[in-house]
Structure 1
Amino acid sequence: MKTIIWPVYINSEHSRGEGRKLSLEESVSEPKIREISQALRKLKIQHVVDHSKSYPGSWWENSGRVVVENDDKTKLELLRNIATQIRISRSRT
């Protein structure tokens, strides 16, 4: 099953109405597609990065998206894992 991950889903700078799926405490500030891809690599999850796409709610921003091959986790669990990995990698730098 394919799951689409938009950066806005885990972005603490956006409201729930703007597309954020995680709570503010779980979210990260301005996640980049590169960071999401690195987090998925660390989690050993197959994915494809699509830089040319725009989130429908903010079609004017070229945010990109990540298409994930996901069979064992819910979308929310996957988003939480990605946000946690991004926080861990940011704390190391």
Structure 2
Amino acid sequence: MLNNTNDRYKQQVADYFNARTNYDRIELTNRRANSFLKLLPLKKGYEVLDIATGTGLIAKEIKVKSSELISLPFCSSKHKRKLIG
């Protein structure tokens, strides 16, 4: 029974984040992302692991500033397609 409850909870969390498709269009989100990126000392040649990549707003900029990005999205594959590129 515990596994079933755990699985349902995980699915609820995934559904919540999957439903947030317009998240990057919110001005506050962009300001926070830009503030965060300014704090990262990224340089070419750095390898970055981005866990819970989300929509990829920050991952895209990290990829530009570093040489290698490994992103592990928490969301479903419908968002994952937007991250690579």
Q: Give the structure with higher Rg (CA).
A: 2
* Relative contact order, higher structure (CA 8 A, sep 6+): 1
Question: Which structure: greater helix fraction?
Answer: 2
